[in-house]
Amino acid sequence: MKVFISYRRDDTRDLSGRVADRLRAHRLLGDVFFDVSSIETGTLFAAEIQRALTKDPVCLVMIGSTWQGSRPDGTTRLDDPADFVRREVLAALEGSLRTIPVLVGGASMPSVAVLPEQLRPLARIDAEYLRHESFDQDMERLIDAILRRRRDGILERLKKDRPKWAATLFAVSGAALAMLALVVLAIVHQALFGRSLDESLGGAGPVVMLIAAVLAGGTLLGFLRGRRPL
């Protein structure tokens, strides 16, 4: 699959370069257009970009905190019809490219009100997030979005991003479910035999041991469940 990366150099240049390198290393995403490394010396810059935008099916729009390019007069660089970023995004939106906004470093998606009219459809597209501190995990999700692979559920993401938290959560959940099962068992036992568990087991001591064993077993099973892939 071919991918075009649209970015503003004074906004997301470094992270966009990392994205290009990572995508090129992927066996299904080797054909990546990134202007610095994709345009040969001596070729017409604008023409090369326009040519790439007609053949690449996916356009990543890298949006950082200065992507709009604010100006002292209250306008933005995006308001300029000659702005290369504006032209790239507009070509992607009007063409056959699937457009994916990528919010970089905590940036927010510009609202419809602040975008030029022709670029306003961009604000209605679901965005992906890319951060330095979680670059590997975010790149996995971005690649899934590009390839239209099934997105991870909450538990799957928790296992990938916070494995210790996942194990703890599953352990607590396992203990709670085990205790609930024990309560249900006690109720069913009372209904069937007309006596409590401590009467059947010969006192409170065996019941305490049963509770401890059930809780320990549920906690262990939950912990192991949290440590292995779903």
Going by pLDDT thresholds of 50, 70 and 90, the confidence category of residue 167 is confident
Mean pLDDT for 196-225 is 85
Q: Any residues with CB less than 8 A from the CB of 185 and at least 6 apart, and which? A: 197
Mean pLDDT for 201-223 is 86
- Rounded CA-CA distance 62/128 in Å is 10
pLDDT (tens digit, 9 = 90+) per residue, 106-121? Answer: 899 999 999 999 999 9
Mean pLDDT for 70-94 is 89
Conformational region of residue 69, where left means phi above 0, alpha means psi within -120 to 50, and beta covers everything else: left
Q: What's the confidence (pLDDT) of residue 194?
A: 87
**Domain locations in the chain?**
2-151, 159-227
CATH number 3.40.50.10140 is the correct assignment for the domain at 2-151: yes
E strand or H helix at 14, and its extent?
helix 9-25
More confident residue, 3 or 155: 3
Going by pLDDT thresholds of 50, 70 and 90, the confidence category of residue 37 is very low
3-class secondary structure, 3: strand
What's the predicted TM-score (pTM) here? 0.60
pLDDT (tens digit, 9 = 90+) per residue, 38-66? Answer: 444 444 445 556 665 656 588 999 999 99
